[in-house]
Amino acid sequence: MAESDKIAPLAVFLGSELAGDVTGQIFTVRKNEIFLMSQPRPIRSMHRSEGWSVDSIASDMAPAFRSSFYPADRSADIFGWDPV
């Protein structure tokens, strides 16, 4: 089964009326597990009075924020058990 097959049911649920009361939440899927993640808080901000474009994000925002990026840990670095 493709990884997207594991994620799709949650995505469809969240886009349906069944999830009308589920707002502002962050979920992650790992095989047959669904996790509710803690709420992150802003750590950096950047303002452009003229708005943002793809190019200005690439040239200004990304380099400025890069030192504050979280590492892309593997699930084995976070979870002490194998996916189920």
Q: What is the DSSP letter of 80?
A: S
- At residue 60 the predicted structure's pLDDT band, cuts being 50, 70 and 90, is very high
| Residue type, position 84, single letter | V
Backbone phi, psi, residue 36, to 5°: -95, 120
**Greater pLDDT, 29 or 81:** 29
Q: What is the mean pLDDT of the chain?
A: 89
Residue 11: is its pLDDT beyond 90?
A: yes
Rounded distance, CA 61 to CA 59, Å?
6
Residue 74: is its pLDDT beyond 90?
A: no
Max intra-chain CA distance, the chain: 48
Residue 1: is its pLDDT beyond 80?
A: no
Q: What percent of the chain has pLDDT over 90?
A: 64
